[in-house]
Amino acid sequence: MSPRQIDQNTLFEREKELLDAAMLLIKQQGVEGLTMDKLVKQVPFSKGTVYSHFTCKEDLLLGLCNRGMGILGALFMRAGKFEGTTRERIIAIHFAYLLYSRLYPMMFMLVISAKSPGVTEKSSTRNREMHLQLEASLTTGIISIITQALADGECNNPNNLAPEQIAFANWSSAFGTIALLSKDFEQCGIRAQMQSEQALLANVNLMLDGLQWQPLFSAFDYTQTLDRLRIEVFAPEVGLLDAQEQAL
């Protein structure tokens, strides 16, 4: 009746191994350097087995993207627990997003291509559903901060935007800023990093000032918030980045 059924657990193990290998390949050779043939060579399975886990290359990319969103969700969670005003917590989330884009630049970019019809249509239903779920879980964290700020009156919201609209504005601002900055990641270095952070801070504060989210930029030293974040919340990630910097 059931000759040679595979353990569900080893299935997860393999998927993990495949994703690990794929991430390593991307780190070493860029997204273009990721090839199904290379992946098969890096892994103790045959091509057929790999294709039983991911229906096609796009499905693999979406799988990587989803893993990244999981990591990002964890970062957002920690950022949201920052002890400070709601505005500081929002800034913490933006900072977490910046860290993520630095730690996994390719996965950050994958979000875009993952949305393109070329990928969406081809990839498996499972990964597509997981993607939507992850996306939802990312936004709920932000929205809870927003609703709290609206309730507390910290976010005056003069234009009467809905919480979802405010969340979208935050997301767009962070995404646009980081995406445009990331082109300069080549010329990385401690100098470029600080400039990125300043630019991100400037942009997000402009938007939050527009929402009249208290305390305004002029009434608080948000640079100090970043300093606290670097030490109190994201010390491991900052350390990792510094280590990567050293390695060059």
Strand partners, 236: none
Q: Which residues contact 186 (CB under 8 A, 6 or more apart)?
A: none
The amino acid at 20:
D
Name which of 52 and 198 has its Cβ closer to its own copies: 198
Interface residue with DNA among 12, 13, 24, 46 (CB under 7 A) is 46
Which positions from 103 through 142 interact with DNA, judged by CB under 7 A? 122
Site for its own copies in 160-189 (CB under 8 A): 161, 165, 168-169, 171-177, 179-180, 182-183, 186
Q: Which of 81, 246, 32, 75 is nearest to 174 (CA)?
A: 75
Amino acid residing at 213: W
- Residue 213 main-chain phi, psi, to 5 deg: -90, 115
Residue 164, classed as helix, strand or coil, is: helix
Which positions from 23 to 52 touch its own copies by CB under 8 A, shown as an x/- string? -------xxx--------------------
Least distance from DNA to the Cβ atom of residue 107, Å: 17
Structural contact between residues 131 and 201, judged by C-beta atoms closer than 8 angstroms: no
* Chosen from DNA, its own copies, none, partner binding at 189 (C-beta under 5 to 8 Å by type): none
By the rule CB under 8 A, 159 interacts with its own copies: yes
The 10 Å Cβ neighbour count of residue 91 is 25
Measured between alpha carbons, how far is 39 from 19 in angstroms, rounded to an integer?
9
Indicate the residue among 15 and 182 with the shorter CB distance to its own copies: 182
Tell me the two tokens of residue 30.
């860029």
**Which residues lie near DNA (CB under 7 A)?**
1-6, 34-38, 44-49, 51-52, 55-58, 122
**Which residues lie near its own copies (CB under 8 A)?**
30-32, 109, 112, 115-118, 158-159, 161, 165, 168-169, 171-177, 179-180, 182-183, 186, 199, 202-203, 205-211, 217-218
